[in-house]
Structure 1
């Protein structure tokens, strides 16, 4: 299969309409239809069910959509990493580590110090991301390695090593009645009318429905909590460096969070390998 065919198929599978897919791709509809039909003939499988109102995916089509997205992400990542390697050839080589802004700060600092002390260590450029952004930037080649957090981040398709598992705490305004408690339960937090949980953006940039404020970064969240407009449930390490006016209370029935270091399975970078060794040694 050619990457062009995969891009054509993904467009049709996502739009579920040949006309809209052709417009999105900037081509005429007839060659698009011929390309998909040719792909189906070569694979010996129907990928789409055509109807008067559009198209639907067959079981085989759903499999190809998932695999095609992964393949196209890998191609894009290869392009990005190759360009970065070429630029590194003109100066000092570097490895890009993606991490969630405001999370795992102590672990990240220890990791950078431990790796810097290793013989042959290269520069580590830290790419601070919003919630859920680390996995996409690792997949598309903007990062070489990432710190991810299960069960929140998608680690499918990556090699991983577990680094740390911890409970979660509720971050509240210091003067809130629940802030004096020694422990809380999820039900006590999720139903607070005066302190709703924030709404983080989805991968497509839209926000889920709900009463909570729309939040895009850690700084914005802490300001809203201090103002008494929201609360949050975060890993225990969120206690570190807690801003004035905030308090943290353990949430005993919240799912435990495991921090992992993740990298693409095809990576052959000695710098990435060294960073992973330093992380697991911690």
Structure 2
């Protein structure tokens, strides 16, 4: 199976319309139809059900769509990493580190400073992303290394080193009647009247969803909390960056959050190895007190 055929099929499967898929691909519709037919004959299965009015996926087509997307992502990731390796070999080394905006904010500057002091350190570009996006950016090759947060981010398929484990707090509007409590339980948090938990971007299903407003990033989330429109359970380290109009109360029965540094297992980058070494020397994994 050729990469071109996969791209053609994924376009048709996503559009469920040959005309729109052809326009998206920048080709005429007849050769696209022929290519899909040839692919079906080669595989010996029907991928699409076609009528004069609609196109739908068969069970085999649904499987190939999922697998095809993953294969195309892997090809694009390989291309990006190959280009980056070529730049490094040509004397322009550098690393791209992706992290969720507003997360592990106290850890990131320590890591960058520690690595900068290492012999042979290279430039590190920091890519700040929305909630739940850093794993995808690492997998598709747009980043060399990431700070991920268990149990919310999947680390399957990556090499990882644990950097810090901490408890969580519920962030409330300052002056809320419960903001003076020594601690709250998750049952209290999920039942807060008028302060629903947010709805997170549905990227991989690992972020626990609530009935409240959908959020894209931490800045938006904190503003909604300050306005009295939501509450959220976040890692303890977020306290250092809360504005005076917000308050944090420990939630002892919330799951602990472990920050890890993650990278592709096949990486041979010396610069990446140096960054990981600097990260592991910062502090041993520990459970932050609440």
TM bin, normalised by shorter chain, reads 0.7 to 0.9
| Distance in 1, Cα, partners of 2:66 & 2:276 | 28
| Distance in 1, Cα, partners of 2:62 & 2:166 | 36
| Distance in 1, Cα, partners of 2:254 & 2:115 | 33
Q: CA deviation at 1:172?
A: 0.8
Q: CA deviation at 1:86?
A: 5.8
Q: Report the counterpart of residue 48 of structure 1 in structure 2.
A: 47
Q: Is the 8 A contact 1:173 1:228 kept in 2?
A: yes
Higher mean Cα deviation, 229-238 or 24-33?
A: 24-33
Higher mean Cα deviation, 160-169 or 118-127?
A: 160-169
Q: CA deviation at 1:88?
A: 6.0
1:80-125, Cα deviation, whole Å (9 max, x unpaired) = 3455556667875211100111111222222222222322111111
| Distance in 2, Cα, partners of 1:216 & 1:18 | 33
Q: Flag the 1:160–1:12 CA change in 2: closer, same or farther, 3 A.
A: farther
Q: Report the counterpart of residue 58 of structure 1 in structure 2.
A: 59
Describe the SS at the equivalent of 1:177.
coil
Give the number of equivalent residue pairs. Answer: 275
| Distance in 1, Cα, partners of 2:105 & 2:217 | 15
Q: Report the counterpart of residue 206 of structure 2 in structure 1.
A: none
Q: Is the 8 A contact 2:163 2:280 kept in 1?
A: yes
| Distance in 1, Cα, partners of 2:99 & 2:217 | 13
Give RMSD over aligned pairs.
Answer: 2.8
| Distance in 2, Cα, partners of 1:8 & 1:106 | 45
Q: Report the counterpart of residue 206 of structure 1 in structure 2.
A: none
Q: Report the counterpart of residue 142 of structure 2 in structure 1.
A: 142
| Pairs within 5 Å for 1:124-139 | 124-139=124-139
| Distance in 2, Cα, partners of 1:84 & 1:228 | 45
Describe the SS at the equivalent of 1:55.
strand
Q: Report the counterpart of residue 243 of structure 1 in structure 2.
A: 243
